[in-house]
Structure 1
Amino acid sequence: MAGRQLNVLFTLDHARTQWYHFTAIVIAGMGFFTDAYDLFCISLVTKLLGRIYYTDLSKPDPGTLPPNVAAAVNGVALCGTLAGQLFFGWLGDKLGRKSVYGFTLILMVLCSVASGLSFGNTPKGVISTLCFFRF
């Protein structure tokens, strides 16, 4: 099995550049972009969440998320990223990477939209649904 994988890598390294190579680069780049955007845009979102749901004018710094809430919102995505890489990587080996990549892409889009539409009557409810969909 290892010899066959090395043969595939050798063939890819020495193959003439074709349209397929550019398609693979764009697909991998878009996957990296969406994942990085999801992880790095949350710092702006946490500022907005603090202003909307946690404004307390009696405190010296009104409108910031409490430290435990900020840690949950930031940390849950990192935990979900690790769990997703392990689980969907394993699933991709079992079922085929192309079909699993399509499924994960659909899942990411649906959960991103659901994150933007997080629901709840209380700040705790909104943060809980946001954390669930970010995971």
Structure 2
Amino acid sequence: MLENTDLGKLLVRLTVGGLLLFHGIAKLFNGLGFIEGLLASHGLPTELAWGVYIGEIVAPLMVILGYQTRIGAVLIVINMIVAIVLAHTNELLALSRSGGLALELQLFFLMNAAAVIFLGPGKYKLKN
């Protein structure tokens, strides 16, 4: 049986980092108005919206490249917890029209980033 845990770790890093990066790039091009509105509706300073760029651009790049990988993964976990609390608490136990969890994307990012924290980057990474 072929076994290469380092390749598996790389695939998890590329998947969670790469897919989340698309969300960050979309916010870079479309702005943070939606997130600023969410923050304001919860009585929080709208300037906190800039943290999305850390959680959805900087952190995914760290995870993809394997540079300070665990720190990047922690930032993704924090980003996802904040997103769930601010925007998705009404969907915690809801199902989508196709039968999956309404929060499956957010939970995917959260749980896979948590896995990266515990697994580490593996040998295919930038040197720290």
Q: TM-score range by the shorter chain?
A: 0.3 to 0.5
Q: Which has the larger helix fraction?
A: 1
Task: With a CA cutoff of 8 Å and minimum separation of 6, indicate the structure with the bigger relative contact order.
Answer: 2
The TM-score normalised by the length of structure 1 is 0.32
The TM-score normalised by the length of structure 2 is 0.33
